[in-house]
Structure 1
């Protein structure tokens, strides 16, 4: 629409304010009756919500040469759209702004009153205001005080305000998720479903101070500023990954329909704009959001398709188009478990959790005690049996409702689902993949038609047909232009990390490292220095080597920032920020006090058996998360002891993602690696024989690392067996296999005694050692399809972790 047309419409509105009882915008004049902000960043007007249904809304103005989806930031009547005929927005002489449906009922109003002439003005910030025409600073009402699902820069979320998600990307009516301040002055995310409600952010089992929040404030205000910094009065803060003062960047914070709050950014140019990219989000794991799959359903991450909702066995989907409705039982449990034909059995769901709605909690219960407890209660649908964090005993949680279900290889527990022993019901998997687009049915708004005129009807059909021909012609021309349009190179770095890590300047990091003087590590990708940041955090600062002729350094920097920035797991290294200034490419990580596994294995203070087993288990969990649980399919490609770092409690964290590879979901066997990746001795045979590269290359490398932890021997050196030196200086894996072959038939002698690191002495658990060694040999099988997945490895080790 032309700016002159919009200006004329605005002047006409102001004229009516002064000289008539009211002025109005008509739904039947979509392109003409609009208001635009001074620099045309925002537009306000009627926006189509579906079939003959319209909202009065504010959205980011779209350039003429771009056909992307309009981004709506505010809606007046989101739960009551108006008809596409005779509906109007009117500013009355009394000072009240009203929205009427088909010229009759009032759907929405500002409930304002004024004795002074008013004008409606759309500010460059996206704020629609009613203000005194003679005193521009006197604002009677503003849209910023009534947000829907979005906060714009410098718009405040205050005490009695809330953000409410939409139902889907196409249905803007109110959804089930809310961002609010609770009664303790703390910013929270709430699932407010049709049957139940629950808080899910911050983690509901934490008290405020454990989550880094403070209740000692009374202001209750949260704001996203123009630079990408979101802060709240309860001490929560988050920086967008592109934090900075770039005036071309447009930003917004939105509570999306899937229950996650995300910060979006895009660059705006005089001729167009980039698409929106996620530069920060509140929750990193989608399956921990409550209500996302509905009752009696399990949320999991499918490497090929994303988040997946699956009915528990014996249950079926209520509505295949609305996953939040969940599943219903195909059976009826009897209260009398002793009657013939009415007994119950329990179906194992490993590594599954249903959060909340416990009938009871019992500590240090055996499985049989927990099962009996569930059978005694008619309302018990299942029980959860798990090892409590920091404890060595099992806890029993009986469940009256199966809500907030999720499956994760990292979860240390299982659910035992109660089912009737006899009965006809389906145990099939009713899995459905959640739509990444969040599409839903569009809103419809009926309109009563009068008697039809035949001539008018004929003209309408004629015009429609002519318009259809024109649309086909336009479409063909558009396709031709798109096909012949060459893509432009994307300059710079796409730093679209999903967590708000910080951009540092080179001078900041030089000061933090005292001129890069304390080197703590060195590898093929760069040199790592110890540093102290301005906020007193100790950091590991990795300076990538200058880019070689093939831009190796640049590609590694791009990989680490994009991959690590979006990951969140206790066994993966945390990344705090980066520097991309001139020729400098620097990454800032959390500092791990105990150094690398390689350093500890070669140290005189050898790691004891318990620490080695827990390091193997923790590393397996981290890799399982990479391969199966995050929203993208990530290969590490360089698993070795130098890239497994240890904290103060020897908790392992996988580090150094400079060689990582992100594969497309729809082509998991894609082997489009431009070069061999990894370290000699730890590399899978697929690299050497140019076979398809999958997650099994990481499994192989992990197996080599575990064998090294068990034996204390490097895979790159010749092996000695007591006084007998192997004549062919066989490598680690063939040596272990040979020891197992020789001793497997000897009664009373375990083959692992021939490979155990002498530094461990006799202080180890033989059963657990055999399990670990067997798992390691399975991982280094020459055939990739024979190797287990990392989640299977984690499950096998987890099952033996607390054996006596």
Structure 2
């Protein structure tokens, strides 16, 4: 046994020396270890490296960075991270490519931290992980078919030739030294415009392009559906909304990267051989015009040497000395809860963008102050050249000599002299950019060298014995019939563009179906955490009234639908009698829940929800290859994402039709929800897309009035059209001829809309809604005509105070 053991030891030593060197590929059955600093992947040209990158004390992320020109591991330009929000430990963590072709990142506790979803490929084709010269990390087979790539899941950086699309926002890091997800996002909005958004802990707002500009004023167009942008290697950036720019060094052969920085600015960095990174383009030239960094009741100041900082308004004190975004809190009680006398403190060259009660032109300063004093929730006024802006909130503050106009802060008169006027000076945080520290410890043993050698010997011997057993097993059972694991209950798994889950996987992901987030006539919806750490919504259907082949055919069709206002389906389960659908999780739940909650939807959100929902239904009816009738349009089936953009859900399983079958179809049973159902269901008339138009009209009326068409009755399947008439007839009666528009609108508008609303948009919504709920289906518009009517009304606003 001595000779084989020596040979094994030599093989192990050779193996360790090879794995510690730089690799060009990672093959199945191999891994990269955090314990080996040199265990990295490198692109062929040496420009990029991928490996474990330190992000704090004992904290690492698997990342891609520029390695040419050479840099220290602590100051390289990182362009991508797999686990930026869940670092792994600095010991025993690995990125492994399993023999089944799955890529998995595990920490020292063997917990799976990151495992990307991969496209299906041939089982016989072995996979390998490779870092391309473009900086793209790809998982592909020998036929060069890519099943996953880092370019499809960017973090905060866009590399040349990498596309920014509708589902691929760039999100900043939290701070200079904290690589976790921050508050700033570059993305395409629902109007197809490329925008910068601040999504902070207390406020949210778009600040680029300038929010007071219309799309055409900003040089953009909303008339595109591709939503794609790209920076080419020469420094030319192009976007589908017509936004373009050239870097200052356009044409030079240098390395480039476009990054959403932690300060909220988007910059293009360029680097020549042997030189430092320089900024060759940036979105915002004035740092303090970037929203959100200073939080409520706080103002941004800029200093050429120290940079940007935040100071509190008079009468306010800092909320958190470690985080500017928390803003400042008042040193006095609310004016609405007390009858204290108030007056104003003037601060020149300051302003707070947004949340003005109304613009009043040709107004004197005294009249402007009186208007503010007459509102208990008015915190101050901005006055500039006879223009008065009463402020209900003090957000997006800026204090600079270049700002025109003055801010007058409303404060208690009794202690007016005690409030200090702030100075334009740099105010540093007490502890910026705190590092990530993982609360894990590992006990180090102090065993002797002899014991360690003995353990190695025993382990090697055991390994050889295990290998011999495996060889014998293979020889004995190589001709044994293999059980077909590709079949489930006698059915072949159909090829789809999304994943098929097992029932046991979904039981684990939903914590045994314990976190219910919604239910309807078709099934119950549960919150889930998938194995790749994505938050999902799993809908368990009540009855398996379809065969598996029929179910998979419909699911495959729905999975191929792609529209910004339709919910994304990520997978399904068809196992025995179980039928489940896996969707993206929507942070703000359903429209129904938001309409009935104490935190009401403001008017601008409601109008965007109306337009977005119409776009989604128009796509189902007229744009996808196999047209889909929803058959159950209602607020419960309109879901809202983190920015309150609507997505129509629960579509498709009702009726999928070929193009020639849309005009005249039949159903075996009545479908829909009482209060939203068209008369065709009750009178047994042919069912067309106009049933969805009718239901959408009821939803519009509910958006405007805040009233349910069922009069508070529970939503149940079936019913008659008389329930609908309670709402439609009430609105029609108040919109009778001869009554001033302002009068009937005030009578029907949701009383929870206590702020400003656009009276002409409400008239348009009501007019469109009443056309949609006509008894004669031929008198109703199509959904594409509804979209045109809503968008054609114009950009001018007329604000009515209520």
Q: 1:425-462, CA deviations, whole angstroms, 9 ceiling, x for partnerless residues?
A: 65263876377999611111121434765889xx9xxx
Matches within 5 A, 1:544-559: none
Mean CA deviation greater in 289-298 or 401-410? 401-410
2:116 aligned to which of 87, 104, 110: 110
Tell me how far apart the structure 1 counterparts of residues 60 and 425 of structure 2 sit (CA, whole Å).
32
Q: 1:62 to 1:322 in 2, by over 3 A?
A: farther
Q: Which residue of 1 aligns with 2:318?
A: 317
Structure with larger RCO (C-alpha < 8 A, sep 6+): 1
* 2:171 corresponds to 1:171: no
Give the Å deviation of 1:368: 2.1
The match for 2:255 is: 250
Please say if residues 200 and 292 of structure 2, whose CA atoms lie closer than 8 Å, have aligned partners that are also in contact: yes
Output one character per residue of 1:119-141: Cα deviation in whole Å (capped at 9) or x when no partner: 00000000000001x212x1111
Q: How big is the alpha-carbon RMSD for the aligned residues of Structure 1 and Structure 2?
A: 2.8
Structure 1: distance between partners of 2:72 and 2:444: 40
- Please list, as runs of the form range in 1=range in 2, the aligned pairs for 1:284-323 lying within 5 A after superposition: 284-303=285-304, 305-323=306-324
In structure 1, the residue matched to 2:227 is 220
2:196 to 189, 193, 205: 189
List per-residue Cα deviations over 1:41-98 (Å, max 9, x = no partner). Answer: 0000000110111100000015558788211000000111111122111112332211
**What is the correspondence of 1:80-159 to structure 2 with a 5 Å cutoff?**
80-112=86-118, 113-114=120-121, 115=123, 116-132=125-141, 134-136=142-144, 138-159=145-166
Q: Separation in 2 of the partners of 1:267 and 1:314?
A: 50
**2:383: which partner in 1?**
385
SS of residue matched to 2:442? coil
SS at match of 1:188: strand
1:443 aligns with 2:448: no
Q: State the aligned residue count.
A: 430
Name the CA shift for 1:404/1:296 in 2 (closer, same or farther; >3 Å): same
Map 1:259-274 to 2 at 5 A.
259-268=264-273, 273-274=274-275
- Indicate the SS of the match to 1:10: coil
TM alignment of 1:581-596, pairs within 5 A: none
Per-residue deviation at 1:423? 3.8
1:40 aligns with 2:35: no
Corresponding residue SS for 2:336: coil
Moved beyond 6 Å, runs of 4+: 65-68, 434-438
Q: Do the aligned partners of residues 64 and 250 (structure 1) sit closer, same or farther apart at CA in structure 2, a change above 3 Å counting? A: closer
Q: CA deviation at 1:9?
A: 5.7
Q: Could you tell me which residue of structure 1 aligns to residue 329 of structure 2?
A: 328
Instruction: For structure 1, list consecutive stretches of 5 or more residues without a partner in the other structure.
Output: 388-393, 460-804
The verdict on how the C-alpha distance between 1:59 and 1:12 changes in structure 2, with shifts beyond 3 A counting, is closer
Deviations 1:321-347 (A, max 9, x none): 32222211222243377x5xx211101
Aligned-partner Cα distance in 2 for 1:68–1:26: 18
Contact 1:214–1:234 (CA under 8 A) maintained in structure 2: yes
Judging changes above 3 Å, is the alpha-carbon distance between structure 1 residues 123 and 64 closer, same or farther for their aligned structure 2 residues? closer
Matching residue within 337, 341, 344 for 1:343: 341
- Measured in 1, the distance between the counterparts of 2:269 and 2:71 equals 22
Could you say if the C-alpha distance between residues 319 and 189 of structure 1 is closer, same or farther in structure 2, counting changes exceeding 3 Å? Answer: same
SS of equivalent residue, structure 1 residue 368: helix
* Cα offset, 1:422, TM superposition: 1.6
How far apart, in 1, do the equivalents of 2:153 and 2:106 lie?
19
> 1:5: how far off?
5.7
TM-score of the superposed pair, with normalisation by structure 2: 0.51
2:409 is the alignment partner of 1:417:
yes
Distance 1:241 1:296, change over 3 A: same
Q: Secondary structure at 2:321's aligned position in 1?
A: coil
1:362 counterpart residue number: 360
1:381 and 1:402 in contact (8 A); partners too? yes
The Cα of 1:318 is off from its aligned counterpart by 2.2
In 2 relative to 1, CA 9–265 (structure 1 residues): closer, same or farther, beyond 3 Å?
Answer: closer
Structure 1 pair 79–35 and aligned structure 2 pair: CA distance change class (3 A): same
* 8 Å contact from structure 1 (residues 257, 438) kept in 2: no
Contact (CA 8 Å) 1:83, 1:446: kept in 2 or not?
A: no
Decide whether the 8 Å contact of 1:168 with 1:438 is kept in 2: no
Q: Please list every run of 5 or more consecutive structure 2 residues that lacks an aligned counterpart in the other structure.
A: 1-16, 453-802
Q: How does 1:778-789 map to 2 (within 5 A)?
A: none
Which residue in 2 is equivalent to 1:58?
A: 64
Deviations 1:496-519 (A, max 9, x none): xxxxxxxxxxxxxxxxxxxxxxxx
Cα pair 1:380 1:400 within 8 Å, conserved: yes
Q: Residues 551-630 of structure 1 correspond to what in structure 2 (within 5 A)?
A: none
CA deviation vs aligned residue, 1:747-784 (integer Å, no higher than 9, x gap): xxxxxxxxxxxxxxxxxxxxxxxxxxxxxxxxxxxxxx
Aligned to 2:85: 79
